Structure 1
């Protein structure tokens, strides 16, 4: 089991989570019924072709502290099966039968890819290992200023990592902030197949908040993933019509799963810092219920205090990164965080679903309503 619990970052531990849910919550978990609906994204199961090929199933993204690894990390390419929301609750199941995942060192493959974290001034060596790959790839890092040959764009650098090859990029951590990385070979398809992730450079003297979380939004046209899995589906980027909307690769209610999803678990009085990244191709106006936040960074640039103001919705363009901060000063409860394009908060024809997660106060984890949400998400104590 992963530790800590919640979205990638610094949440509560699994032991704290289990203690907070209490025996009453566990009892309700065993007995409540989750809503089901026939309006799932796919009209028929998409699992058979992928399962017959024995693909690994993706895991949630992990934070990889490159400083603790001597300044180096290896990213492998791995075709995988991706469970967006595997249950029949709330418009599920929602599944992507084929993705192309990044796998850091000996960890599990994940979509989004691992959160690569380092410190300002600590240069990295990132090795793209495509020795077992079936198609060419590269890696492009946003934000930092690097040598021409390390830009990761094959058409301008002449460097492509073909199947059976490895290539090491030198990435200087010279621009602090939250950035993104992705494959830049046939970008229009490879990002849409899952080859994207967060790159975080902590400034020197970085002061963490009480709780810190990373969240990547993504819109998907599942026809591409089904076509790549060998199913009877036809896709063109010119006629892209997204039908799956995710936070850290999951759709609600799976987003609320404490280990497979990305709830923001807080305690009253906490200062909370959230790094929002848009890994998709559409704008997503993100809204938090019952809390006012300030945007403190944009694309790694620090926003002066004189230019900050309280807000409750923030629009992210494709590849844009916003870091927000707020105080968990509401009455303890469960409050939604979601895209405010309402059709992005759906699983097929079922509402709510999609690009929706929530702020969960630790103080209410022993309530019946929290236990019911855990049942929808598929969490078992």
Structure 2
């Protein structure tokens, strides 16, 4: 049984969670060739050779400390089934029958992909292993300054990683902050299929907050996923119609699940630091209830003290990254964090759902309302 509780980062242990909830009582009874890109690969080929039963299900994104691995990490992508909300509550179930999920080393596949974390001044050797793949891929890292051939764009570097191949990119950790990575081959489809993740460079002498979490936001047009699973639907990237809205790959209420979801778990008096990244194609104004926060970084750049101010909503454009900080000084309870484009906080026609998560005080975990929320989220204790 996993020890991971809450969003990726520095949450509480399972033992602390069980102690705070009193065991949850009865809750949980509910269940290199040419570098130029063409569209021929993905417009004529899907993943119907593998049935849903043959494919793994995605796991929540994990934090990979690349420094602890000698500065090296191997990334793979594989078809998988992704269930943003597998339950019946709040407009579920919501399923993407086919995604292309990144995994790191021997870890589980996830969308978004693993969170790669390193330290300023280090180099990462990132190997894209496509030996078992069925289509070309690349890796492009935002934020840091790297050599031309490591930019990950096949059209301008002449390098792509075809099926059966491997390629190692050297990614210097020379710009501290929170960044993203993604496949840059047929980008309009490959990101839509899930090929993106967060990349964090801690500055030298970094002082972590009491609680620190990573949250990735994305909207999806499920037609592409369903097309790649063999359904008779057409996806048009010029006429995109998002219908699934996720936080770290999950829709509410699954976002509140302490193991599969990404609740932000705090204790009163904590300093809280959230690294927010947008992997979608639309902007998302993210709002936290009953807490005012300060944006301290944007796209890896430190915001000067004189330019900082308190706010309760931060609008994150596609590929942007915002790091925000606040004190957990509210009345201990359960508060929402959600996109304020309210139609993004829906599962189909059901409200609430979608791009909505929760800020949960440990002191409130023993309440009846928290138990009810865990039942909605499908947590079985």
Query: Secondary structure of 1:185's partner?
Result: coil
Q: Distance in 2 between matches of 1:245 and 1:152?
A: 27
- Are 1:26 and 2:25 matched, yes or no? yes
Shift of 1:50: 6.8
Provide the residue aligned with 2:184 in structure 1: 184
Shift of 1:51: 4.9
Q: Distance in 2 between matches of 1:192 and 1:21?
A: 37
Per-residue CA deviation, residues 143-187 of structure 1 (Å, 9 max, x unaligned), is 000000000000000001000000000000000000000000000
Q: Distance in 2 between matches of 1:354 and 1:253?
A: 8
Consecutive unaligned residues of structure 2, counting only runs of 5 or more, are 32-47
Q: Distance in 1 between matches of 2:257 and 2:232?
A: 32
Q: Distance in 1 between matches of 2:71 and 2:139?
A: 17
Provide the residue aligned with 1:169 in structure 2: 169
Shift of 1:354: 0.1
Per-residue CA deviation, residues 320-379 of structure 1 (Å, 9 max, x unaligned), is 000000000001100000000000000000000000001000011111100000001010
- Are 1:275 and 2:279 matched, yes or no? no
Name whichever of 356-365 and 50-59 sits farther off: 50-59
Query: Secondary structure of 2:8's partner?
Result: coil
TM-score (norm 1): 0.94
Query: Secondary structure of 1:350's partner?
Result: coil
**Is residue 49–residue 97 contact of structure 1 (8 Å, CA) maintained in 2?**
no
Provide the residue aligned with 1:43 in structure 2: none
Query: Secondary structure of 1:81's partner?
Result: strand
Q: Distance in 2 between matches of 1:92 and 1:183?
A: 30
Q: Distance in 2 between matches of 1:234 and 1:372?
A: 39
Aligned residues: 365
Shift of 1:2: 3.0
- Are 1:218 and 2:218 matched, yes or no? yes
Query: Secondary structure of 2:192's partner?
Result: coil
Provide the residue aligned with 1:115 in structure 2: 115
Shift of 1:4: 3.6
Provide the residue aligned with 2:368 in structure 1: 368
Shift of 1:67: 0.2
**Is residue 271–residue 326 contact of structure 2 (8 Å, CA) maintained in 1?**
yes
Q: Distance in 2 between matches of 1:52 and 1:228?
A: 11
Per-residue CA deviation, residues 227-277 of structure 1 (Å, 9 max, x unaligned), is 001012111101100000000000000000000000000000000000000
Provide the residue aligned with 1:42 in structure 2: none
- Are 1:313 and 2:305 matched, yes or no? no
Shift of 1:30: 4.9
Q: Distance in 2 between matches of 1:49 and 1:342?
A: 38
The correspondence of residues 340-355 of structure 1 with structure 2, limited to 5 A, is 340-355=340-355
TM-score (norm 2): 0.94
Consecutive unaligned residues of structure 1, counting only runs of 5 or more, are 35-47
Q: Distance in 1 between matches of 2:289 and 2:315?
A: 15
Per-residue CA deviation, residues 94-127 of structure 1 (Å, 9 max, x unaligned), is 0000000111000000100000000000101000
Query: Secondary structure of 2:25's partner?
Result: helix
Provide the residue aligned with 2:266 in structure 1: 266
Q: Distance in 1 between matches of 2:186 and 2:253?
A: 32
**Is residue 82–residue 98 contact of structure 1 (8 Å, CA) maintained in 2?**
yes
**Is residue 297–residue 323 contact of structure 1 (8 Å, CA) maintained in 2?**
yes
Q: Distance in 2 between matches of 1:130 and 1:62?
A: 21
Q: Relative to structure 1, is the Cα distance of residues 59 and 66 closer, same or farther in structure 2, using a 3 angstrom cutoff?
A: same
Q: Relative to structure 1, is the Cα distance of residues 50 and 360 closer, same or farther in structure 2, using a 3 angstrom cutoff?
A: farther
Provide the residue aligned with 1:254 in structure 2: 254
Computed over aligned residues only, the root mean square deviation of the Cα atoms, in angstroms, reads 1.4
The correspondence of residues 116-131 of structure 1 with structure 2, limited to 5 A, is 116-131=116-131
**Is residue 52–residue 81 contact of structure 2 (8 Å, CA) maintained in 1?**
no
Query: Secondary structure of 2:238's partner?
Result: helix
